[in-house]
Structure 1
C-alpha cells in the first residue's frame, strides 16, 4: 500500500508540474519579460511556439526577447517564422523593423514599421512595439532626439487607437523621459496607473524621473511602492541600485554607504532575473556607471568564461582595464571586440576606449586615429580633441596640437581658459624663426588675447606669452620695432609686487628686463636706460649670457675711452 501511495503521489506531482507548464500563457511570458526574467520568458515562449505553433504572437514575443538580449539575427529569424505562420502579423513586422533598426538599417526598419501599422487594425499593440523599437538604440543611456520624436509620434497614434493601453502609455512616458520632458512623461505614467494601479513598471519609471532630478528620497519611495505591488519585481531593484550609484556621485558624504547599498540591490536584482549572462551584463553596466572598475574587471573576466560567444563582454573588459591601468589586457580586449563584432555594433565609446588605451601604451598615432573615429561617429564627443592635442603636444607636434585645441575650443562646451592657454602655447612653440610662418604667431596671440579679455585681471603667464609672441615678430635686432614692449611692461608690473621666489621666475623676469634693455640700446639709443634694465636683469639672473655679453661690451667700451 505504501508503494502504491508513493507512486500515486509521484504521478500526481507529475500531473501538477505538467499542467503548470501547459498552463503557461503568453500573459505569463509577458510578465516575465517585464520583470527582465529573459531566460524564463524564453523557455516559456519556446514551449508555446511548439504547443501553440499557429499563434504568431508567440513568435513575436520570443523574437522580442532576443532583441532585448542583443541577438538581432536570432530575433529576425524568429519574426520571419511568425510571418510564415500569419503573413498579416502586424506584431512580427514590428519585430522585423526593430531588428533592422538595431542593426542601423533604417530603410528596412521604416518599411517594416509601416507594414506593421498598416496591418494593426484596431490593435494598439503594434504601435506600442514600434514605439519601443525607436528607443532601443542608445548611446550611454541616451536616445537620439529624432528617434525619440519618432517614438512619440507613433505612440500617440496608438493612443488614439486605444487610450486605455497601459503598456503603451508607459512606453510613451519613456519616450518623453528620454528627452527630459518629465512633466509629459509623468502624465503618461499616472494615466497608466489610473488604468492599472498594480502596474509596477509605471511606479519604477516614475522613480527614474525623480532619480534624474536628484530627488533620491522620492525616487526610493517609488521603488518601494513597486516592490509592494510585486516583491519579486527585479527592475525596481536594478533602478534602485543605479539611483544609489547616482546618489553616491552627487553626495560624497553618502558615497561609501550608497555604493554598498547599490551593489546589494543589484545582487538582489540578479537573483530575481535568473543570473543570466544578459542580466550580468546589465550588472557590468552598473559597475561601469558606479565607477567600481576593479569589480567590473573581475566580473568581466568571469563573464568571458560564460558568455557563450557574446563578444560584448570584451567591451567591459576593455573599459575596466583602461581605468585600472592594465593597458595590455585592455588593448587585447578592445581590439578583439572591434575586429570581431559586427561593425554595426561598434559605437563611439569603443573607439574612445581604444584610442585612450593606445595612447597610454605609446601608440599615439593609432590612438589619435581612433579618437577621430569616435568623433566621426558621434560629434558630441568633441572632448576627444583635447586628448588629441595633449598627445600631439607631448610629441612636440605643436602645430597639429594647436589645430586640435582649436577644434576643441570651437566644438566643446567644456573648454576653459586653460585650454586657450594650451592652444596659444602650441602655436607659439610651432613657430620656427628659420621658416617663419607668422600666421602661427597670429593664432597664438589671438588665443592669449581671448584669455586676457575673459579673465578680468592680468595673468602673468599669459602676459609673458604675449610678449614672447610679439618679440618673435620683432626678431631683427637691427630693425627692432618694440611690439613686445607693452606686454613685457605689463608682465613686470604684474609680478613685481611679489619678489620672484624660484629660479625660473627670476629668469623670466630677467627676460623682460633684457628685452627692454635691447629696445633702449638699439631703438631708443638710450644707453643709460639700457644699463638700468640690464642691471636689474643681472640681479635676477647673473649667469645669463646676454647679460654677460652686455656688460662685457660696456666694460670694453669704457677701457677704450
Structure 2
C-alpha cells in the first residue's frame, strides 16, 4: 500500500511542476472569484515562495490586495512580479490598478500603456486594465462615463486577441452595465455563458443586470442557476441579498419579507467567505445600504475589537453612531478615522457625516465648513445644501440661510422638498432689514418662494400668512398704503377657517390678519363698517391684539 502511494506521488512529480502550479493557481483564482480573499492570499503567498519564478503568482496576490483596497501591499507584490519577469504585462496592469485606486491617474495611464505594449497574444493584461478602469472610486460605487469608455476601448482590443475569453466578455458586460447599456451588457454576458455554461460569474453578472432593470424574478433565477453550478459561490448570495434589498425599496408590499431575505442571504454569503475583516467590512457596507444602523453599530464595535482590525472600522462606527443619535461616540469615531486614514482614503461621504456630527454636537460653524467640503468633493450630494441652510437658520444667520436654501432649490434636483422653499422665504423675511443694500431683493426672493409653495400646496396656510407679511414690507409709505398684503391675509383667513376650529397660535395669526384688513378699510378704503367688523374679529381671536386695542381706544374718546 505504502509502495503504491509512493509510486503515485512520484508520478505526480514526474508529470511536471507546471501542471501542479497551474492547478494551484486555478484554485487561488477560484477563491478570488468566490471572494475568499484570505484563503486566496494564503495560497498565493505559498505559491510566490514555492513557485517564485512565476510572475502570475505575484500578480494575483497583488490583485487580491487591490480588491481589498490595500494599494501599498498590492504595489509590493506587482513590483516583485516585474522583478521576476520585466516583461510581465499583467503586473504592469496591476501597478496601474493600484495607482488608479490611489487617484494617481498619470501613473495609472503610464502603467496601463506599458501593460498593453507587453501583452502580445496574452489577453489577460487587456482584461485587468479593463477591470482596473471599472474599480469604483465614489461612495455610490458608480463608474464615470470616461472610465467606462476607456475600459471598453482596451477590452475591445483584447477581444481581437482572444474573442473567446470568458473573463474578458464578462468584464465587457460589466463596463456596459455601468453605463446602463443593458442590451450590450446582456449580449456580452450571454456570449460568456454560451462559451462556458458552467461559469457562475456570467450567471451572477446577468442577475445583477436584471436587478437594475427591476426584473427581480429574473435576477433570482440567475443567482439560483449560479448556485446550481457551484453551491459555495458566495457572490451569488451577496448579489441576491442586494437584489432583495432593492426589491424591498421598490415594492412596499414585499418590503418586510425581502429585507429579511436580504439579511439571510447576506449571512449565507458571509458563511461562504473566510469571515475575514474585509468580508465583514463588506457586510458593513451592505448594512449602510440597508439602513440597518443598529446592526451596523454592533458589527462595527465588534470589528474595532478584532486584533487585525482595519482603521476603516471607525468610519462605520461614526456613521452608525450618528444615525443612532449617539453623537459624542460618533464625533470621536469620525475624528479618529480622519486622523488614521490617508487623505486619499477619505470619501466625500466621510466629510458629510463629520459635518453632521459637528453640527449635532453644537459646532455649527465648523460643521457647515465641513459640509461645504463634502459638496466641493462631490456636488451630487445635493441634500447637503438643505443641511447647511438649516444650520445657518438655527444660528439666526437668516440672510445666509436664505441664500443656502435658494441654492438648494436651484441645485438639489429631486432631493428638494417644499419645506426648502418655505424656509427660503421665511429666512429672507426674518433677515430683511431696510438698511441692507439688497433689502428689496430679499423681499422679491421671499415673495417668490412663498408663491411657489402656494402653487404646489394651496392648503398650506402659513405660506399665505408669510407672503402677506412679506408684502406688507412693500408698503414703506405709511401715509399712502397700497395694501399689497390684503389678498394674502384674506386667503390665509379662508384657508384656516376651512380647516375647523383654530388653536391659540392660529388665533393670534387670525387676529393679525383681521387687524391688517381693518387698517386697510379704515385708512385706504374709508369703510368704517368693514373696519369695525374686522377689528372686532381681531379682538375676538386675540383680546391682546395691540392694533385692535388701539382702534377701540380711539373710538371711545
Which TM-score tier does this pair reach, normalised by the shorter chain? over 0.9
Match of 2:467 in 1: 466
How far does residue 521 in structure 1 lie from its aligned partner after superposition?
2.9
Does residue 63 of structure 2 align to residue 64 of structure 1?
yes
Match of 1:444 in 2: 446
Q: Distance in 2 between matches of 1:259 and 1:548?
A: 61
**What whole-Å deviation, never above 9, does each CA across 1:4-23 have from its counterpart, x for those lacking one?**
x9x99999999999999867
SS of 1:296's equivalent in the other structure is: helix
Q: Distance in 2 between matches of 1:22 and 1:190?
A: 31
Q: TM-score, normalised by structure 1?
A: 0.92
How far does residue 32 in structure 1 lie from its aligned partner after superposition?
1.4
Change (3 A) 1:292 1:489: closer
Q: Is the 8 A contact 2:512 2:545 kept in 1?
A: no
SS of 1:543's equivalent in the other structure is: coil
Does residue 86 of structure 2 align to residue 87 of structure 1?
yes
Q: Distance in 1 between matches of 2:356 and 2:311?
A: 20
How far does residue 378 in structure 1 lie from its aligned partner after superposition?
0.7
Q: Distance in 2 between matches of 1:302 and 1:445?
A: 53
Change (3 A) 1:254 1:12: farther
How far does residue 360 in structure 1 lie from its aligned partner after superposition?
1.8
Change (3 A) 1:211 1:410: same
Q: Distance in 1 between matches of 2:102 and 2:32?
A: 22
Show the 5 A alignment for 1:44-443. 44-138=43-137, 139-306=139-306, 308=308, 310-414=310-414, 415-433=416-434, 437-443=439-445
How far does residue 444 in structure 1 lie from its aligned partner after superposition?
0.3
Q: Is the 8 A contact 2:277 2:309 kept in 1?
A: no
Change (3 A) 1:220 1:153: same
Change (3 A) 1:100 1:349: same
RMSD, matched Cα = 2.6
How far does residue 228 in structure 1 lie from its aligned partner after superposition?
1.0
Q: Distance in 1 between matches of 2:536 and 2:467?
A: 24
Q: Distance in 2 between matches of 1:36 and 1:492?
A: 65
Which consecutive unaligned segments of at least 5 residues does structure 1 have? 557-561
Match of 1:559 in 2: none
**What whole-Å deviation, never above 9, does each CA across 1:32-74 have from its counterpart, x for those lacking one?**
1111111121122222222222222221111111101111001
Q: Distance in 2 between matches of 1:258 and 1:91?
A: 41
Q: TM-score, normalised by structure 2?
A: 0.92
Q: Distance in 2 between matches of 1:539 and 1:317?
A: 56
Match of 1:30 in 2: 29
Moved more, 248-257 or 15-24: 15-24
SS of 1:143's equivalent in the other structure is: coil
Moved more, 63-72 or 511-520: 511-520
Q: Distance in 2 between matches of 1:538 and 1:174?
A: 71
SS of 2:305's equivalent in the other structure is: helix
Does residue 550 of structure 2 align to residue 549 of structure 1?
yes
Q: Is the 8 A contact 2:126 2:158 kept in 1?
A: yes
**What whole-Å deviation, never above 9, does each CA across 1:146-183 have from its counterpart, x for those lacking one?**
22222122212211222111101101111111122222
Q: Distance in 1 between matches of 2:307 and 2:517?
A: 71
Q: Distance in 1 between matches of 2:344 and 2:36?
A: 27
How far does residue 310 in structure 1 lie from its aligned partner after superposition?
1.8
Change (3 A) 1:80 1:290: same
Change (3 A) 1:12 1:396: farther
Moved more, 121-130 or 284-293: 284-293
**What whole-Å deviation, never above 9, does each CA across 1:401-425 have from its counterpart, x for those lacking one?**
1111111111112213332111111
SS of 1:150's equivalent in the other structure is: helix
Change (3 A) 1:313 1:424: same
Change (3 A) 1:371 1:229: same
Q: Distance in 2 between matches of 1:347 and 1:185?
A: 29
Match of 2:513 in 1: 512
SS of 2:325's equivalent in the other structure is: coil
How far does residue 497 in structure 1 lie from its aligned partner after superposition?
4.5
Q: Distance in 2 between matches of 1:433 and 1:390?
A: 24
SS of 2:297's equivalent in the other structure is: helix
SS of 1:214's equivalent in the other structure is: coil
Q: Distance in 2 between matches of 1:533 and 1:372?
A: 49
SS of 2:382's equivalent in the other structure is: coil
Q: Distance in 2 between matches of 1:382 and 1:410?
A: 10
Moved more, 212-221 or 200-209: 212-221
SS of 2:424's equivalent in the other structure is: helix
Match of 1:502 in 2: 503
Q: Distance in 2 between matches of 1:22 and 1:61?
A: 13
Q: Distance in 2 between matches of 1:230 and 1:429?
A: 65
Change (3 A) 1:551 1:170: same
SS of 1:479's equivalent in the other structure is: coil
Change (3 A) 1:445 1:23: closer
Q: Distance in 2 between matches of 1:468 and 1:427?
A: 12
Q: Distance in 2 between matches of 1:342 and 1:307?
A: 21
Q: Distance in 1 between matches of 2:294 and 2:202?
A: 34
Q: Distance in 2 between matches of 1:291 and 1:11?
A: 58
Q: Distance in 2 between matches of 1:108 and 1:444?
A: 51
Which consecutive unaligned segments of at least 5 residues does structure 2 have? none
How far does residue 459 in structure 1 lie from its aligned partner after superposition?
4.3
How far does residue 254 in structure 1 lie from its aligned partner after superposition?
3.6
